[in-house]
Structure 1
Amino acid sequence: AWETHIFMFEASSEFAKKKTLLEQRQFLPIFAVRQQLLNIIRDNSIVIVVGETGSGKTTQLTQYLHEDGYTSYGMVGCTQPRRVAAMSVAKRVSEEMGSNLGEEVGYAIRFEDCTSEKTMIKYMTDGILLRESLRESDLDHYSAVIMDEAHERSLNTDVLFGLLREVVSRRSDLKLIVTSATMDSDKFAAFFGNVPIFHIPGRTFPVDILFSKTPQEDYVEAAVKQALQIHLSGMVGDILIFMPGQEDIEIIERLEDLENAPPLAVLPIYSQLPSDLQAKIFQKAPDGVRKCIVATNIAETSLTVDGIMFVVDSGYCKLKVFNPRIGMDALQVYPISQANANQRAGRAGRTGPGQCYRLYTQSAFKNEMLTTTIPEIQRTNLANVVLLLKSLGVQDLLLFHFMDPPPEDNMLNSMYQLWILGALDNTGALTPTGRLMVEFPLDPALSKMLIVSCDMGCSADILIIVSMLSVPTIFYRPKGREEESDQVREKFAVPESDHLTYLNVFLQWKNNNYSSIWCNEHFIHTKAMRKVRQHLNIMVQQKMNLTSCGSDWDVIRKCICAAYFHQAAKLKVHNQILPSEENHCCM
């Protein structure tokens, strides 16, 4: 797994070789203020903790609370906005505490629970804690909850802010600690009732900020030129380039093929990259070779890589934004905020003085960039949030305590989507179908598809399709073998439906005894397919009545249309396609 690679490489670093785990813990900036931090937590129900990435707040704070006695009457929970962080941090903390992962220290992510009755410290995605609040509104199993990386303002985090504020007002024994990088701490403190802010001193070095003199038409080309200039200058240190997405990163990877230049190891890092390749960024480069890491915004706060002296900032990132024309969320490229830009620059000052090359002008930074990124809750589809809040008994959603209330139109549009799916009645209350849909940790349309499949006799097939849609992309296109991988993928294609293509892939994998060799030969991510099997096993535990329609795939198509009918179209004469009345994107 990804976290195994991280800690394998950490253990091989010079620092880790020379220091015991205890000495490594005591070296972290948070250790110097341990007692002051515990004192302020003891005296207040809610505390905002501000510390830079690498200060130790994620791995140490849970252990400090455990050592201070909080686990004697409940669990210490810590939420993470990303699954990979929840898993890797839990692994590290279990090692520091000398226990097996899943015993005293565990983690829970969607479709995977690695905890036990012994668990005292639990790392989890924010969505897991949200779903736990459905079963236990006051979260009585917890003595303390840490909301880590709160500055990322994920959709689930913002809903948790409102829920936990109410829970703490009802439970005087519950401690809530909200941790953040340097952004938004005053806003967090004000939202929770002017609670105290505790700052962990950092160990950052000065970073020279160098702006572009003129706007760059092509940020990818500009990034390549800037990286080359740094590399050929002879200055010592590794390079980190921030790009919006995978396509841009793959273009920049060609830097590695340069002739007549000093050796350069170009290492990509983005969420869909296989875990063994992700972990390469933590390896020490061979002598005489400079590392050039090309990353999405995952490297802003979630990852810390030592040795970075130069940051090249494209000024862009990808954000999930609700598109009313197609009736769904879409990833789009947007300029970053000033807060993101400062966070990116800080990556260059972790182990020594650094330089940050911004591929945009100082005027653009001051006058065109927002101070902070618009929270996800104000720009994405809220159907899942509405369903969850309705099941928690929130009648008037417009009166719920959001830190930044979502646009009323988005809320009403989400309620309309749930109404046409049969999850809400004409008064806006949950229907029996809606209550069933809440039980599945899925997009509402996928939940509806599963429920309908039980009546249509194809639940086993739909369950496979839903599981396939719940993992990152299963196909990959290795550099230099793009055409070959595309030809292999064509063998699985079912022209009528991508959903049926996914079903076809899984069934062929099953016929080949779930072979990893077969996956590699067909350019399919083995780990993604294993995750699909894992999802299947967990969904089966929901006690669904599983039946297969065999080769009658028309039944499956009907089932898909029952959930996505609002995105259906009719084929008329002369191949003219007429969309549905709502003018949404058509299937």
Structure 2
Amino acid sequence: MAKYTPRQRKQKHRRPEPAAPADTNAVELAPVSKDEKEARRQKLREELREQHSNVSSKKQKRLDKYIENKLKKEENLELLKKLASANTDVSNLQSIKELGKRKREDEKTSVTTAGATSAQGFSGYETDDSDADIRTSDPATDPVPAPKPQPPQLPAGSGLKRPLELGPDGFPIIKKRKRTAKPAPVAAPVKEVAWEGFGSGEEDSDDDDENDSSEGSEIDSGSEDTDEDDDSGESSEGSSDDEDEDSDEDDEDDAAEKKIKPRQSAFKSWAIQQINEAVGFQPTTGPVIHDHVQDAFAAPRKEPRNTVEEEEPLPAELQVTSGDPYRKAFSVQVDRSEEIQQARLGLPVVGEEQKIMEAIHNNSTIVIWGATGSGKTTQLPQFLFESGFGSPDSPNPGLIGVTQPRRVAAVSMANRVAQELGQHSDRVSYQIRFESTASKNTAIKFMTDGILLREIADDFALRKYSIVIIDEAHERSVNTDILIGMVSRIVDLRKSMSEEDPSIKPLKVVIMSATLRISDFTENRGLFRQGPPPLVQAEGRQYPVTVHFARRTHRDYVEEAFRKVSRGHRKLPSGGMLVFLTGQNEIRQLSKRLKQAFKPTQRADTTQARVQFTANDAPLEAEDLELGGTEMHNDGYDDDSDLEITGLDEPEDDEDFDLGEEAMDSSTKVHVLPLYSQLPTKEQMKVFEAPPDGSRLIILATNVAETSLTIPGIKYVFDCGRAKEKQFDLFTGVQSFQIGWISKASANQRAGRAGRTGPGHCYRMYSSAVYEADFAEYTDPEILRTPIEGVVLQMKSMGLHNVINFPFPTPPSRQGLAKAEKLLRNLGALSSHGQVTQIGRRLATYPLSPRFGKMLYIGHQHGCLPYVIALVSALAVGDLFVAQTEVDPNAFLKSKPKPQVNDSDDSEDDRRVYTNADRLEDTEREQKLKAYARVHRLLGKHDDTSDALKFLSAICAYAYASDGDAFSEQMFLRAKAFKEATQLRRQLTDIVRANNPGLIGTYEPRLPEPSAKQIKALKQIVTAGFIDHVAIRADLAPVPPEIPRAPRRAIDVPYLTLFRSREGPMDDISERAVFVHPASIMSKLSPKEMPQYIIYSHLQQSAASVVASDQTPKIRMFPLVAPSGLQLAALAHDTPLIEYGKPVGKTDTLEGIPQRRSCWVIPSLVGDGGGTGWPLPAKKVVQKKDPKEGWVIEKFVG
């Protein structure tokens, strides 16, 4: 091996460069002397004073300051001129930022400087090929170039911007700066090298050792070539000085980024080789790895991401608006049976679980639209429970609250969800008005919307809930609308509370609707201030439904329903039938006829059996009221509400029932079931059971079957197109239960019932012309057609004084709000300025109308409070007695005029023979009517002019009965109503005792008979609650109207109300007056026995008669008590209803201060339009003189 010879080091053998002689005084700038400055200053001062003769001291200071600045500017200008004329060599100057840089960077900078020096006329640089050394020539030995002619001097500032050079064509020459894109450095795969003996693994890590001479020369030459290329490229471009500086800075940055590889030491390599030979080690040579093999095992390079897909926006329900990006994953395992699991998989909403849950997690409020039958009511609470809502250890430990507008739906849905949750069935509960199964273990709570409103009154933030689901929002009940407005503000409140206290979690709200009118929620800016909530659609299982319109619209739709159902049963293939009617009487009538016409599966029963109810069933609703009386005989048929369409006079054929399939046997039995809201849950659940073999299911239902319940097996729907709804006139306060057309949305809901399990058919008993002309798109919200004084009082008691600004989904009319506030002022609940009084706060604690609250507030006098609670319970439930039309089903048929027929046509009734069975039936009916009248006389024994005392007698007698159901049947009472009134008695007793512990003791169901003094006090308490519902007998009014003929019956005696009962002109007495309802106890009095004043509960207008359709129906009032004039004057004191006139007769002046007097005044009840009002008996009072209001009543005397 050759002898080691160390190489010579470049730095040691570099020739020393002679230092260039520097003449520091080549150019000396002498400063201006003080004398010269002072002479120049004096000259400027004299020039300026010649222009201004009178100079003040302040101006003199400003002048001296101006002269000083002027001199400084002249000196700077002179200095700049001298510097511009000087020519200084700056080639050897070095930037401060280059100090301390490494050797290679200094060499590169020197090469760049040398290139720039060559361009200015100095000698270039020398390179030594042997050691690649770079030297700068000595400026003392270089020849001095001849001076170049100086360019013309440009004006000051020309160096900042020069005019562009023009080409031969006259256009400016714009030089583009060329920049080459630098590829991003990619780390090359590191090849694993086999071990080559001692020191093989240490070479790379030894930074202090020297490198091999040959490899070092290769590296140096490579770097020099690169630098030379860069320099030549820059000089060839002929760029300006600024561009050169930019290029130099870029090169310096690149050099700093490049990692300098350490040189290999030749001595170290030689030493390692000698050691390996001494120990006898031979390094192995690894196999040759081809490039394609190396590339196959190389790490894949990251491809650029597809930005187009990322920029595409997510659906609205997946957009994160208030979600937690660091949400903790939590789940609850639920074990279900195979049958329940298969049933759940068949529900459309189960397939949308991921989308729904993502929307709930990412948004504080969402709206879910899903057709009836999609399973949203039963499945969504389970989704939330499995996701951790309601679990104490989850991020959402609060309850899952689900509201329903009907109590029966809350109970039935809770039972269904509990059944599907398997081992967690005890985590589901419900709470309705008189019953609750909630416990500490509850996670899912079903309730009515009124229950949640009560909880909001106690805790506005709803701290124990983590999510609230408002179901059936499309029904637009008053409680639902108020609840939606409340929770929209609670969501914001809980969000701010959670930011201050992390232990309080935000509240989430889900609004579920079954119709397409969701714009009232999603487009209401006042309702959701953070923007419209996302809409999540969950389609229902809907098969095609063929709609068949009738050729003509029949008046008697019950008869038409019987005819079509009978024909359909004979001709249509197998499948259940759903018939929509308006009330219980129609259901009973049609059920009886169908069972008589076909073989029923149940026992034939011509007298409909009574159904017993429980107190926790559905509340009383519009379709449950059967309005009796001589003027209400048209309610069952609604002859005046629909028009007969005779577009086609051809007889109707059977094309609609010819479906091309084999019809059922005409001898098939019918399984007829009723379905309406007053049915108890166990009776309603029968519609979900399979009918007996060999029978057809026929369900007769009211509009409760539209959305609340989904009935399986229904293939045919028969729609009468009508519904019974409660109408309320906001101006007059008159309410009526009218049978009218439904909306198009309701008609579509009814038709959709036939397409749940397969293709179906809907037979509409009205024409398409009536559908297009008379059917509204949607039903008006309940808040627009009901009194809202209770709502206004609740809101004002919670601090919401401006009710008009409350975020209603559909705001009530200003007229309705004004009427509600007027009533509250009459009751003393609001002050004249609209603020809640102490009485109003007490009234708001009761879950009743403010009128009943006023009765409870003043009912403690003379020990009457237990009787007042019983009376309020009876009045609040209402409909306690069976109507006379139910005792005698043919009563309204007798009073109904028979249609005109030709003499040649003999009707079936004329040809019918009066048999012994008919005589027995008439005898039995007469005995029932006598018993009915005897019962009402017995219950009204305390006062034959007070229906309120009759209600009190009935509910107290029911409490003494051992068998309430038997007693109700014997006394013609409604068992369900009395059971509910009894439950309300207990609840109100607890509330009154909690607010006033000393006024009442424990609940006593059996009360003794009230004394005469207590009866008198009870009548005054009722008068105070309904003080504005007063009527005066027309012939005893201050200005009596003209009465054409004297009335013969009590129900024909006209009365005038304090406030108008009709709108528009009222010429006839029958239009101006109201009349006693035939169901009242006063209807048995003679016209002369009728009292002068009557306090009534409400006004009701009957439907128009078909024969006398040109006459306006009478308005009937439901009397409560008959107060005297003195009682009215005393009870109306301190209300806006009463005014006092000037003193009459003798006036006695009393001693003392302030000035007082004793006199007689005449009070008057004042209603609409002011005026003189109704004069009441004079009262003796003591008045005092107020400086602002004049004479005011201090107290009453006697």
Q: Same fold (TM over 0.5)?
A: yes
User: Offset of 1:551 from its aligned partner?
Assistant: 4.1
Question: Which of 45, 66, 74 matches 2:398?
Answer: 74
Q: CA deviation at 1:365?
A: 2.1
Measured in 2, the distance between the counterparts of 1:480 and 1:568 equals 32
Q: Distance in 2 between matches of 1:139 and 1:579?
A: 48
How far did 1:109 drift?
Answer: 2.0
Q: Show CA shifts across 1:385-413 (max 9, x none).
A: 11111112111122221222211111111
CA contact (8 A) 1:134 1:391 kept: no
Deviation at 1:485, TM superposition (A): 6.5
Residue 689 of structure 2 corresponds to 283
Q: Map Cα deviations across residues 28-81 of structure 1 (whole Å, 9 max, x no partner).
A: 222222222111111111111111222221122112112212213211111111
Cα distance in 2 for partners of 1:285, 1:485 equals 36
Deviates more, 1:114-123 or 1:155-164: 114-123
Paired position in structure 2 for 1:183: 516
Unmatched tracts of structure 1, length 5 or more: 1-17
Tell me the secondary structure at the aligned position of residue 706 of structure 2.
helix
Partner of 1:8: none
Which deviates the most, 300-309 or 180-189?
Answer: 180-189
| Residue in structure 2 matched with residue 235 of structure 1 by the alignment | 573
SS of 2:697's equivalent? strand
Work out whether residues 732 and 1059 of structure 2, in 8 Å CA contact, stay in contact via their aligned partners in 1. no
Moved more, 463-472 or 50-59: 463-472
**Distance of 1:487 and 1:500 partners within structure 2:** 22
Q: Distance in 2 between matches of 1:22 and 1:240?
A: 28
Query: Residue type matched to 1:451 in 2?
Result: Y
User: What is the RMSD of the two structures over their aligned residues, measured on CA atoms?
Assistant: 2.8
Aligned-pair CA distance for 1:132: 1.5
Q: Which residue of 2 aligns with 1:582?
A: 1059
Q: Counterpart of 2:1020?
A: 558
| Corresponding residue of 1:409 | 815
Q: Distance in 2 between matches of 1:315 and 1:341?
A: 7
Tell whether the 8 Å contact from 1:255 to 1:266 is kept in structure 2 after alignment.
no
SS in structure 1 of the partner of residue 818 of structure 2: helix
**Cα 1:107–1:472, aligned 2, differ >3 Å: closer, same or farther?**
farther
User: C-alpha displacement at 1:383, in angstroms?
Assistant: 0.9
Specify the code of the residue in structure 1 equivalent to 2:455: E
Q: 2:583 aligns with which of 245, 261, 277?
A: 245
Equivalences for residues 112-151 of structure 1 within 5 A:
112-151=435-474
Measure the CA separation in 2 of the matches of 1:74 and 1:372: 36
Alignment of 1:483-494 (within 5 A): 483=925, 489-490=932-933, 491-492=935-936, 493-494=939-940
Give the length in aligned residue pairs.
570
User: Any stretches of 5+ residues in structure 2 without a counterpart?
Assistant: 1-336, 496-505, 599-665, 890-924, 1002-1006, 1037-1045, 1062-1098, 1100-1116, 1120-1198
Pairwise CA distance, 1:219: 2.2
Match of 1:435 in 2: 841
Q: Residue type of the partner of 1:540? A: T
Q: Deviations over 1:130-180 (max 9, x none)?
A: 222112122222110101011111111111222211111222311110111
Contact 1:476 1:485 in 2 (8 A): no
Q: Does the 8 A contact of 1:569 with 1:577 survive in 2?
A: no
- Give the fraction of aligned pairs with identical amino acids, expressed as a percent: 36
CA distances 1:397-448 after superposition (whole Å, capped 9, x unpaired) = 2222122221111111111111111111111111111111111111221222
Q: How do residues 121-520 of structure 1 correspond to structure 2 at under 5 angstroms?
A: 121-172=444-495, 173-191=506-524, 192=528, 193-259=531-597, 262=667, 263-324=669-730, 327=733, 329-471=735-877, 473-475=879-881, 483=925, 489-490=932-933, 491-492=935-936, 493-494=939-940, 495-513=944-962, 515-520=964-969
Question: In structure 2, the residue corresponding to 1:202 is in which secondary structure?
Answer: coil
Evaluate the alpha carbon distance shift between residue 243 and residue 275 of structure 1 in structure 2; reply closer, same or farther with a 3 A threshold: same
Letter paired with 1:555: A
Distance, in Å, in 1 between the alignment partners of 2:422 and 2:841 is 42
Conservation of the 8 A alpha-carbon contact between 1:256 and 1:265:
no
Question: Does 1:541 find its partner at 2:990?
Answer: yes
Structure 2 counterpart of 1:423, one-letter code: A
- One-letter code aligned to 1:66: F
Give the aligned residue type for 1:292: I
Structure-2 residue corresponding to 1:12: none
After TM superposition, give the deviation of residue 474 of structure 1 in Å: 4.6
**1-side partners of 2:768 and 2:597: how far apart?**
34
1:303, 1:416 → 2: CA distance? 40
Range 552-561 or range 431-440, more displaced:
552-561
Q: Retained in 1: the 8 A contact 2:730–2:815?
A: no
CA distance in 2, matches of 1:33, 1:328: 47
Q: CA deviation at 1:98?
A: 4.3
SS at match of 1:565: coil
Distance 1:563 1:481, change over 3 A: same
Aligned to 1:65: 384
Stretch moving more, 319-328 or 534-543:
319-328
SS in 1 for 2:671: strand
Deviation at 1:526? 4.3
> What amino acid is the match of 1:38?
M
Q: Which residue of 2 aligns with 1:95?
A: 419
- Cα distance, 1:378 vs. partner? 1.4
**C-alpha contact 1:310 1:354 (8 A) present in aligned 2:** yes
Q: Secondary structure at the match of 2:860?
A: helix
Instruction: Sort the Cα spacing of 1:228 and 1:64 in 2 relative to 1 into closer, same or farther, 3 A.
Output: same
C-alpha separation between the residues in 2 aligned to 1:176 and 1:377?
A: 22
Kept after mapping to 1: 8 A contact 2:481/2:808: yes
- Structure 1 489/304 Cα, relative in aligned 2: closer, same or farther at 3 Å? farther
Rate the CA distance shift 1:264–1:214 in 2: closer, same or farther, 3 A. same
Counterparts of 1:562-573 in structure 2 under 5 Å?
Answer: 562-570=1024-1032
Whether the aligned pair in 1 keeps the contact of 2:340 and 2:420 (CA below 8 Å) is: yes
How many Å separate the matches in 2 of 1:256 and 1:481? 21
- 1:328 touches 1:381 (CA, 8 Å); kept in 2? no
Range with greater deviation from structure 2 (253-262 or 328-337): 253-262
The structural deviation recorded for 1:570 is 4.0
Indicate the larger mover: 551-560 or 228-237: 551-560
Counterpart of 1:504 in structure 2: which amino acid? Answer: S
What's the offset of the Cα at 1:267? Answer: 2.3
Q: TM-score, normalised by structure 2?
A: 0.45
| Alpha-carbon contact 1:274-1:525 (below 8 Å) kept | no
Residues 134/171 of structure 1: CA separation in 2 closer, same or farther (3 Å cut): same
Q: What's the secondary structure of 1:430's corresponding residue?
A: coil
Deviates more, 1:262-271 or 1:167-176: 262-271
Question: Aligned equivalents of 1:472 and 1:238: distance in 2?
Answer: 36
- The higher-RCO structure (CA 8 Å, 6+ apart) is 1
Bigger-Rg structure (1/2): 2
Equivalent position SS for 1:240: strand
Task: Tell me which residue corresponds to 2:75.
Answer: none
How much has 1:501 moved relative to structure 2?
Answer: 2.9
- Partners of 2:590 and 2:708 in 1: how far apart? 22
1:9 is matched with: none
3-state DSSP class of the match of 1:213? Answer: coil
For 2:1027, what is the secondary structure of its paired residue?
helix
Aligned to 1:27: 346
* SS of 1:258 mapped into structure 2: helix
Distance 1:225 1:426, change over 3 A: same
Q: 1:479 to 1:449 in 2, by over 3 A?
A: closer
Q: Which amino acid in the other structure matches residue 1059 of structure 2?
A: E
